[in-house]
A and B are shown apart, each in its own frame.
Chain A
Amino acid sequence: MGHEVAAPLLVRVRKARESANRQPFVLDVSLEIPAGITILLGPSGAGKSTLLDCIAGLVRPDSGRVSVGQELWFDSSQRIGVPVHQRRVGYVFQSLTLFPHLNVEENIGYGIAHLPPRERKARIDEILSAFRVAALRQRKPAEISGGEAQRVELARSLVTDPQVLLLDEPMTGLDEQLKAHIIEDLRAWRTARNIPILYVTHSKMEAQALGDHLVMMRSGSIVPEQKIAHQRTQLEQ
């Protein structure tokens, strides 16, 4: 289940679209995301979620290239676009997306339906206890709290053993105590699996606690390193 070779995620994408207020917006990003947690900071509307959607394959870039190690997911020049379901991406969205008709156990097992039943059950049991949600396994999403749902959502993404993990403000609306627990869970998971993790947040606490690397976006572009050095100093203070 572990990854011995840490393949970096290479992203070079350009995507023009209309923003929410009908203004033209261009995402134009080129970056390498190494193994470990990369914090993606930036104001609302900077294009962070669009970038994550381009990586996952939910949004098709106008041009560019996305690859993980030897695996090519998107290349506009070669007309390659691997479908979302074949990319093995873990993606925790900004809003909760547990399937309301499935219980917690079924939700977590959804992404590993292809495994033999015994292995599938073992993986589900392992992640349920790692995220301390084993007691909820038979409950439907409507019967658990928002914080519990957030942890189940995270567990559901991680159990698939993804090659890349995308986390889009996964702790919005959670109390500090719960955040601390989830940060602990994520740290443990990062240590066990050496993959690129892109973590979007507005929280300095989360950035400090989790970030191995820092990337900043503004108006669809990456802010150069020297400009964010100042920001990093501020975060560390």
Chain B
Amino acid sequence: MGPLWLSMELAVTVAALLLLIGLPVAYWLAFSKWRGKFLLEAVVALPLVLPPTVLGFYALLAMGPHGPLGKVWRAAFGHGLAFTFAGLVLASMFYSFPFAVQPLMSSFEAVDRRLLNASAVLGASPWRTFRSVILPLSISGIITAIVLCFAHTLGEFGVVLMVGGNLPGVTRTASIAIYDRVQSLEYGEANRMALVLLIISFSVLSVVYALNRHARRSLWTPWATK
């Protein structure tokens, strides 16, 4: 598999898994009244400030033959986790976690609490309120979370290099391949791949901004904002 396709596969997998995990975490962070939740908020935001190599280093230790994740993985599947595509997915999920949780949490928090009260007095359980009111009104946050996770994973370098190494067809993603090309002075090939990444990233961000603009317009209720 070529580096670009591998990057795409990684980005799609990570975005899909992070949406599934990010929704309940963001819901809890948005609505929990637990005093200590700032600790979890700090943990979620940690990858934003940590150098990717630091995150990658600890992920590598955790996934190694003596690390907790590596041991569990070996017991379940009979082989190690480091330097595999699955390991890459897991490390990328840690790395992109804030890009899923923060847009979701912000859009959940922005839903008018009076609508949630209205839903409850109309007989809707918290789960139905989540499905029927919170999710549809958070559509722009959901789109943003998916796209940011996708784009962030597509362009990651440090974590991939630390956890995945540079195995062709297994862990050599586009960003690693570009670095390789530059090291071997193949600027033409590096430029071709870099341009493809640039175009994909620009297109994805343009689509997300356009969709968000549309979502905001279609929900505009002048009297409800009073």
Contacts and interface: CB of A to CB of B under 8 A. Distances in A.
B221 A141 contact: yes
B50 interface: no
Contact of B121 (A90, A100, A141): A90
A146 interface: yes
Interface stretch (B84-92, B97-105, B132-140): B132-140
A92 to B, nearest CB: 9
A127 to B, nearest CB: 13
Contact of B136 (A101, A110, A114, A149): A101
B221 A58 contact: no
A136 to B, nearest CB: 14
Interface residues of A, number: 31
Contact of B118 (A88, A93, A146): A93
Contacts of A97: 112, 114-115, 117-118, 224
A85 B114 contact: no
A57 B114 CA distance: 14
A99 B115 contact: yes
Contacts of A141: 221, 223-224
Contacts of A114: 123
B76 interface: no
Nearest to B118: A97
A10 B124 CA distance: 24
B192 to A, nearest CB: 44
Contact of A96 (B119, B126, B224): B224
Contacts of B220: 100, 142
A93 B122 contact: no
Nearest to B135: A101
B122 A156 contact: yes
B221 A100 contact: yes
Contacts of B221: 98, 100, 141-142
Contact of A101 (B122, B124, B219): B219
B120 A58 contact: yes
A110 B124 contact: yes
B222 A84 contact: no
B52 to A, nearest CB: 38
Among B118, B119, B128, B218, residue most surrounded by chain A Cβ atoms (within 10 Å): B118
Nearest to A146: B223
Given A58-B117, A93-B114, A110-B132, A98 B122 contact: no
Given A141-B224, A142-B222, A100 B120 contact: no
Interface of B: 112, 114-115, 117-126, 128, 132-133, 136-137, 218-224, 226
13 contacts: A88-B123, A91-B117, A93-B114, A98-B221, A99-B115, A100-B221, A100-B224, A110-B124, A111-B122, A142-B219, A142-B220, A149-B223, A157-B121
Interface of A: 56-58, 83-91, 93, 95-101, 110-111, 113-114, 141-142, 146, 149, 156-157, 160
